[in-house]
Amino acid sequence: EADIYQTPRYLVIGTGKKITLECSQTMGHDKMYWYQQDPGMELHLIHYSYGVNSTEKGDLSSESTVSRIRTEHFPLTLESARPSHTSQYLCASSDPGETDEQYFGPGTRLTVT
């Protein structure tokens, strides 16, 4: 059973606000990911990390930033939220072992008004 958590699950916020989406995993996985997904649509990788102090941008350009100070924690920050940031954000982690299977958190549904 995967143990990866995201908070908040739902967030409605006004334009211009700074927000941080939290993601934590208790599996000791080195690799973590952030995906952006409009409901029922493709997942787009926006950030990933190979381990502590490692962060990389994904395939989809994003105005968000991430940090990886601890193995278990991979928060995503939007300095100034805009309506175009309205989406679902999914966090995942994987063990760089044999299969690299990704375990997903429940997601954060963000609405920027």
Partner 1 sequence: AQKVTQAQTEISVVEKEDVTLDCVYETRDTTYYLFWYKQPPSGELVFLIRRNSFDEQNEISGRYSWNFQKSTSSFNFTITASQVVDSAVYFCALSDADYGQNFVFGPGTRLSVLP
Site of interaction with partner 1 (CB under 8 A): 2, 31, 33, 39-43, 45, 48, 50, 56, 58, 88, 90, 92, 94, 96, 99-107, 109
Between 58 and 86, whose beta carbon lies closer to partner 1?
Answer: 58
Please state, in angstroms and rounded to a whole number, the distance separating the CA atoms of residues 18 and 96.
33
Please state, in angstroms and rounded to a whole number, the distance separating the CA atoms of residues 34 and 44.
8
Please state, in angstroms and rounded to a whole number, the distance separating the CA atoms of residues 16 and 35.
22
Between 13 and 43, whose beta carbon lies closer to partner 1?
Answer: 43
Between 42 and 69, whose beta carbon lies closer to partner 1?
Answer: 42
